[in-house]
Structure 1
């Protein structure tokens, strides 16, 4: 998924949908990175080379870089519905 440059992330790639969580990776395009609010024990880890990994379950939206809202609306087997919009 391609997101606006103002979000500070490159293309977001879903790497897995398992155990009620969606695992994603993205390249960092800004100078910093912050995330808050992932439900289901979500977390962030360094992916090397200026990238991040993010794991989120269904529930409240995560705020990324104080600019982007990412919410997992529904997970069904190996399919997920995500809502990505400006944080606000």
Structure 2
């Protein structure tokens, strides 16, 4: 927990910080760098809320990738006791 993942500025997010890992979800927070924000996916349980101050909080479980801002895929590959494996790549 507390790890930070830097993503390209074109994704519309600043660094993504892992806030919590549970048995079923990874909770992440990121500042917005663009003018809007959208997410679809987060199968296995998930949601998005405003983090205040121009940021967002999102929770994703293991499963298919979530598409963020129509330009980035974020997939929770595996959730372990105190760590998670994330895969981030451009949306296709």
Deviation at 1:6, TM superposition (A): 0.4
Spell out the pairing of 1:42-57 with structure 2 (5 A cutoff): 42-57=46-61
Paired position in structure 1 for 2:90: 86
TM-score w.r.t. the length of structure 2 is 0.93
> Which whole-Å deviations, capped at 9, do the CAs of 1:29-75 have from their partners, x for residues lacking one?
00000000111221000000000000000000000000000000001
CA RMSD of aligned residues (A): 0.6
TM-score w.r.t. the length of structure 1 is 0.97
Paired position in structure 1 for 2:14: 10
- Structure 2: unaligned runs, 5 residues or longer: none
Task: Tell me the number of residue pairs that the alignment of Structure 1 and Structure 2 aligns.
Answer: 88
Runs of 4+ in 1 over 3 A off after TM superposition: none
Deviation at 1:78, TM superposition (A): 1.2
CA distance in structure 1 between the aligned counterparts of 2:42 and 2:80, rounded to whole angstroms: 18
